[in-house]
Structure 1
Amino acid sequence: MITGIIGTIIFGAIIGVLARLIMPGKQNISAVVTVILGILGALVGYWIWGAPKDDGSIDWLRWITSIVAAIVFVVVYGAITGRNRKQI
């Protein structure tokens, strides 16, 4: 149970960072919020594609879905809080 929670936090942090790197412009969002939005994206990817395969391969559809979901969460968070991209 605890390893699943720690794994989800690590997976969410990676997903959140990848989502912010893929998005154009600068997002003025803290690291904690990035991890939380990444965890939400990871949970959405897990929910849509189900449990990961036990054959040891990488589940690319789950990763891509999780990143896209995290991007959506970052955009929605930025729109709600007004802390989206700054213009240079």
Structure 2
Amino acid sequence: MEISGLFTAILIGIVIGVLGRLVLPGRQRIGVLWTVAVGIAAALLGTAVAAALGVADTDGVDWGEWLIQIGLAAVGVAALDRAIGRR
């Protein structure tokens, strides 16, 4: 992955993390930095999953990839919220 690809993944990860958090109902007890970290991880993992499924590179907007990334971010935010809530 080139530096421009990494920078883009970070920027998209921020957006993905926020969207993943917005998908979840109720209030989450994690901070903004954790949301961004989960979003970056979901963006990178979601891109790999989309590539494996063959939906990463399409003509136009890659809606399948976006949905996978947002879904993974929502799962990550919910899991982290649940783990922090147990402490």
- Larger helix proportion of the pair: 2
Q: Note the C-alpha offset of 1:78.
A: 1.1
Query: Does the 8 Å contact 2:24/2:78 carry over to 1?
Result: no
Match of 1:78 in 2: 81
Give the C-alpha shift of residue 81 in structure 1: 1.4
Q: Could you state the TM-score of these two structures normalised by the residue count of structure 1?
A: 0.83
Opposite residue 65 of structure 1, the aligned amino acid is I
2:65 aligned with 1:68, yes or no? no
TM normalised by structure 2 equals: 0.84
Question: What is the distance in 2 between the residues matched to 1:19 and 1:54?
Answer: 23
Measured after TM superposition, the shift of residue 54 of structure 1 is 6.6
Partner letter of residue 70 of structure 1? A
After superposition, the Cα gap between the structure-2 partners of 1:25 and 1:76, relative to the gap in structure 1 and judged at 3 Å, is: same
Q: CA deviation at 1:28?
A: 2.1
Aligned CA RMSD, in angstroms, stands at 1.7
Give the match for residue 27 of structure 1: 28
1:36 equivalenced with 2:12 (yes/no): no
> Partners of 1:46 and 1:11 in 2: how far apart?
11
Which aligned segments of 4 or more residues in structure 1 are displaced greater than 4 angstroms? none
Counterparts of 1:32 and 1:38, CA distance in 2: 10
